[in-house]
Amino acid sequence: MTLFNVLIVTVACLLGVGLYGLLITRNLIKIVVVLQLLVKSVVLAFVVAGNVSGHPGIGESVAATIIVADTIVAVVALALAVQVRIRFGTLDIPKISSLRG
């Protein structure tokens, strides 16, 4: 198995774990963690894509930018989660879901 194949498999696994995690996780903080997993798989995918296409520079610079952008999103999400914990007293998703229908 080449390095390339290992990376592809890793991307797929991270992606799968991320999506699956989003379906079953019932805790807001954990949701944010799972989201990070999902995005990291994409970062890896860019590095691989850059190499496959013969333009590793593009892939790497994009990956770096995504990490920055994603950190901002994570910070916002965590800040919201903290507020949710303060106002609702819980991070359990069913308990904070009142808007429906």
Partner 1 sequence: MNVPMFTLLVGIPLVSSPVVYLFGRLTTRAQVLTRQGWIVRLLALLAVAATWFPFINLWLEFQARGNRMFFNIESIWLQLDGISFLLAAMVLTLGTLAILFSGRYMAGDFGEEKYYAMLLAMIGLMIGLGCANDLFNLWVWFEAMAVSSYLLVAFYREQPGSLEAGMKYVVQSAVGSALALLGIALVLAQTGTLDMDQIRLMVGTMELNKLGLLAAGALFFIGFGVKVAMVPLHTWLPDAHSQAPSGISAMLSGVVIEAGLVAMLRALSTLTGFALSWGWLLLAFGALNMLYGNLLALQQSQVKRMLAFSSLSHIGYILMGLGIALVSGQPAGAQGAAFHLFTHMLMKGLAFLAVGAVMYALFHEQGIHRPLVAHDLNGISTRYPWVALSLSIALLALGGLPPLAGFMSKWQIFVAGFQSGNGWLMGFVIFAAVNSVISLAYYAPLVNRMYRRVTATSVKKGSDTIHWTMQLPLLLMALAVVVIGLFPSLMNWLTEPAGAALMSIFQ
Partner 2 sequence: MTGLLVPSLILVPWLGALVVWRVGDSRPKWQHGLAVSFSVLAGIVSLILIPQASSDVAFSLPMGKLFGELTFIADGLSVALAAIACVVGSLAVLFAVDYMHGEHQLGRFYTFVLLFIGAMTGLVLTSNLLFLFFFWEITALCSYALISFYNDDPKAVAGGMKALIITQFGGVGLLAGALTVFGTLGTYQIPDLLARFSELTPNLLAVMGFGFLLAAAAKSAQFPFHTWLPDAMEAPTPISALIHAATMVNAGVYLLARFYPVFEHVPGWTFAVMLVGMISALITAVMALTAMDLKRALAYSTVSQLGYMVYAIGAGGIFASQFHLLSHAVFKALLFLAAGSVIHSAGTRDMRRMGGLGKQMPFVRNVFILGALALAGLPIMNGFWSKELILEEGLLHTPLWAHIGMLIGAGLTAFYTLRMTWMVFFGEPREALHAHDAGTAMKVSLGILAVGSLTTWLLAGPFSSLLERTLPFHEFHVLTLDTLAEEIFLAPATYIALGVVALGLAISWMVRKQATGPVPAALEALSRESFGLDWLNQQVVKLMSQSASAMQKTQTGEMNWNVVGIIGALVVVLGILLWSAS
Binding site for partner 1 (CB under 8 A): 15, 18, 22, 28, 31, 35, 38-39, 41-42, 45-46, 48-50, 52-55, 58-59, 62, 65-66, 69, 72-73, 76-77, 80-81, 83-84, 87-88, 96-99, 101
Q: Which does 14 bind (CB under 5 to 8 A by kind): partner 2, partner 1, none?
A: none
Helix (H, G, I), strand (E, B), or coil: what is residue 27? strand
Pair 80, 90: CB distance under 8 Å: no
Binding site for partner 2 (CB under 8 A): 19, 22-26, 31, 93-94, 97-101
Question: Could you tell me how far CA 13 lies from the centroid of its own chain?
Answer: 13
d(CA 29, CA 71): 14
